[in-house]
Amino acid sequence: MADKKKQFAVIGLGRFGGSVCKELYKMGHQVLAIDLNETKVNEFTAFSTHAVVANSTDEKALQSLGIRNFEYVIVAIGDNIQSSILTTLVLKEMDVNNVWVKAQNIYHHKVLDKIGADRIIHPEQDMGIRIAQHLASEKIVDYIELSDEYSIVELLATKKIDNRSLIDLHVRAKYGCTILAIKRGEEINVSPLPKDMIYQKDILIVIGHKNDLKRFEEEGM
Ligand code: ADP
């Protein structure tokens, strides 16, 4: 496992950056937590490998932290768009490979895109979409948008498909979507075979075109 550990730096320890930092650290990765605010930094000493007070718009400060050696740097500065942009610019000028940045709005997004942010995240919108999908159907447990057309959904198996095998359900032939995995309690079957059974309350992880997924969810189960 040790060689799978990655090095991350999280800049800005608000609600979003703080959650990213804690989760990565919990997963066993090396995480450098950075914030201007000393109280925040102190709070995160227990949830990171190192927590330091620094202003990320200061190139020298980032250099002295050896930020170039981090595989991923997450810029999670919220309201201060100017600091977020400047930090991203400095990181890309320092040749940091993967700079992921939280965007506040579409204008912020456009600028981040122009200055080379490798991935731009809109946590509120993404979460809003997932929650809406969940609210719209009790069968949808989770939802990940892959593109405008394709997504992955987690569907709760209903009574209608209880005690049926995958071959019996013909999901791919009938609906054009693919069951990637079946979760049953703590267990997860990641390469289900045609003969594998589905029981009510299993969670099916299904990939496909949005229209096909919708048809499967509404008509197939
Ligand atoms: P969220 O909406 O995710 O809670 P916030 O705007 O509340 O985000 O938090 C952003 C964090 O980023 C704050 O803790 C703030 O101190 C920190 N921050 C803002 N500017 C800088 C900077 N230049 N360098 C380091 N940290 C910064």
pLDDT digits (tens, 9 = 90+) for 141-191: 888 889 889 999 999 999 999 999 999 999 999 999 999 999 999 999 999
The finding on whether 143 has its CB within 6 A of some atom of ligand 1 is no
The residue that leads in pLDDT, 132 or 123, is: 123
The finding on whether 80 has its CB within 6 A of some atom of ligand 1 is yes
Q: Where are any strands of DSSP class E within 67-139? A: 72-75, 98-102, 119-121
The finding on whether 84 has its CB within 6 A of some atom of ligand 1 is no
Q: Where are any strands of DSSP class E within 146-220? A: 150-156, 164-165, 178-184, 187-189, 197-198, 203-209
The finding on whether 37 has its CB within 6 A of some atom of ligand 1 is yes
Distance CA 50, CA 135 (A): 39
pTM recorded for the entire structure: 0.76
Q: Is residue 138 scored above 50 in pLDDT?
A: yes
Mutate to test the pocket of ligand 1, among 23, 53, 62, 77 (most ligand atoms within 8 A of CB): 77
